């Protein structure tokens, strides 16, 4: 055999070396995969989902209304201990604590979700533009200084006085100035990544500020925004509870966790379960919201996708 028979030239396809063997990457696909990888997270998410659904549906079935107390004239119905019929017992006017707690939870959740949504939308929109424009920055910093120094409780009292109690006044109170904090937070984040090289590259390609915000900046902020939301939602639940406790909340017509807690405080020694049950539910929802939010924000960070 000669050399030609022993050896042959192997074909070499240059494009082969460019091929990427890894399976296709999808951002949201990886987010969910990372999120559901942790059993504990899955457990807390299911718990949270169940709590929220239950809080939304149960009051519709019970039809609880704080102004209606059919058993108020029947002393034997008042302050019953927990039983099969009244799972959490009855309160001082003979209503089911179970129904009251869930109706209150429902309203607290609604208020906090709506407030978070409004503040986030306004805050992110304003903050993104604010972070990009040096001229706007000078004006907005002054606006921030003014708005962020308005005492919250004073504002709540004034608005309550003008608008009365109820959902709308409470939501307005909680959104009036709070968006400025979100906006300031987003502004700082935008400033950090605004001058990164890939944004300069976009600028060199003639990309407008609007497109830069939606395509270059916000996708990078998903994770930090998620963290922010996971802290904001529970804080609004607490704020609602606090304001209602102070008598500045949803008013007499609407059930509220804060109002229940304040009403039941006087029974803390005689009937402790009445006080601790709404507090416990409040804590459970706040903590699981926080955990799920944090885990989502971790999963939204592509560095965790490897």
Partner 1 sequence: MSNTNKEVLLSVKHVDIAFNNEGKKFRAVKDANFDIYKGETFALVGESGSGKTTIGRAILRINECDKGEIVFKGKRISGKISKEEDTNVIRSIQMIFQDPAASLNERATIEYCISEGLYNFHLYKDEADRITKVDQALTSVGLLPEHKSRYPHEFSGGQRQRVGIARAMIMEPELIVADEPISALDVSIRAQVLNLMNKFKEEKGLTYLFIAHDLSVVRFIADRIAVIHHGRIVEIAESEELFRYPLHPYTISLLSAVPMPDPQIEKKKELVVYDELKRDLSGPKPVLQEIRPGHFIFANDREMAEYEAKLQVMEKEHEALGE
33 binds partner 1 (CB under 8 A): no
Sign of the dihedral through C-alpha 257, 262, 263, 264: positive
Which of 3, 151, 206, 270 touches partner 1 by CB under 8 A? 206
CA 157, chain centre distance (Å): 25
Nearest residue (CB) to partner 1, 28 versus 161: 28
Q: Does 196 bind partner 1 (CB under 8 A)?
A: yes
Q: CB of 196: closest distance to partner 1 in angstroms?
A: 7
Q: How many whole angstroms separate alpha carbon 303 and alpha carbon 306?
A: 7
Question: Which lies closer to partner 1 via its Cβ, residue 5 or residue 18?
Answer: 18
Report d(CA 97, CA 86) in Å as an integer: 8
Cβ of 88: how many Cβ atoms within 10 Å? 21
User: Is the Cβ–Cβ distance between 182 and 123 less than 8 Å?
Assistant: yes
Nearer to partner 1, 92 or 202 (CB): 202
- Identify which of residues 247 and 302 has a Cβ nearer to partner 1 in the complex: 302
Interface residue with partner 1, options 1, 3, 10, 19 (CB under 8 A): 19
Q: Kindly state whether residue 220 participates in binding partner 1, applying the rule CB under 8 A.
A: yes
The one among 4, 76, 149, 208 contacting partner 1 by CB under 8 A: 208
Residue 138 lies near partner 1 (rule: CB under 8 A): no
| Residues 6 or more apart whose Cβ sits within 8 Å of residue 54 | 102
Stretch that binds partner 1, among 60-68, 116-124, 211-219, 263-271 (CB under 8 A): 211-219
CA terminus-to-terminus distance, the chain: 52
Handedness of CA 44, 50, 52, 55 (dihedral sign): negative
> With contact defined as beta carbons under 8 Å apart, do 165 and 251 qualify?
yes
Q: Per CB under 8 A, does 139 bind partner 1? A: no
Please, which residue, 19 or 39, has the CB nearer to partner 1?
Answer: 19
Query: Which parts of this chain interact with partner 1 (CB under 8 A)?
Result: 14-15, 18-20, 22, 24-25, 27, 196-198, 200-208, 211, 215-216, 219-220, 302
């Amino acid at each position: 055999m000669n050399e030609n028979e022993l050896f042959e030239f192997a074909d070499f396809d240059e494009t082969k070396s460019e091929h990427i063997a890894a399976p296709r990457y999808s951002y949201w696909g990886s987010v969910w995969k990372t999120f559901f990888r942790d059993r504990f997270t899955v457990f807390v998410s299911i718990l949270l989902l169940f709590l929220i659904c239950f809080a939304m549906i149960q009051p519709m079935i019970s039809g609880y209304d704080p102004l209606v107390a059919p058993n108020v004239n029947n002393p034997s119905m008042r302050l019953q201990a927990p039983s099969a019929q009244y799972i959490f017992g009855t309160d001082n006017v003979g209503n089911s604590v179970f129904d009251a707690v869930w109706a209150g939870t429902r309203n607290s959740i609604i208020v906090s979700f709506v407030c978070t949504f409004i503040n986030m939308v306004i805050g992110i929109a304003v903050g993104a533009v604010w972070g990009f424009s040096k001229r706007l920055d000078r004006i907005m910093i002054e606006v921030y200084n003014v708005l962020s120094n308005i005492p919250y409780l004073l504002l709540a009292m004034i608005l309550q006085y003008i608008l009365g109690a109820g959902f709308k006044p409470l939501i307005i109170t909680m959104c009036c100035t709070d968006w400025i904090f979100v906006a300031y937070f987003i502004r700082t984040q935008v400033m950090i990544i605004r001058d990164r090289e890939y944004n300069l590259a976009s600028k060199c390609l003639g990309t407008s500020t609007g497109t830069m915000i939606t395509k270059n900046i916000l996708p990078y902020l998903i994770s930090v925004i998620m963290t922010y939301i996971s802290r904001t939602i529970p804080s609004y639940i607490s704020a609602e509870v606090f304001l209602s406790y102070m008598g500045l909340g949803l008013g007499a017509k609407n059930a509220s966790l804060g109002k229940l807690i304040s009403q039941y405080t006087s029974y803390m020694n005689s009937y402790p379960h009445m006080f601790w049950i709404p507090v416990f539910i409040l804590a459970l929802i706040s903590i699981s919201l926080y955990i799920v939010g944090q885990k989502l924000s971790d999963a939204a960070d592509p560095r965790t996708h490897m």
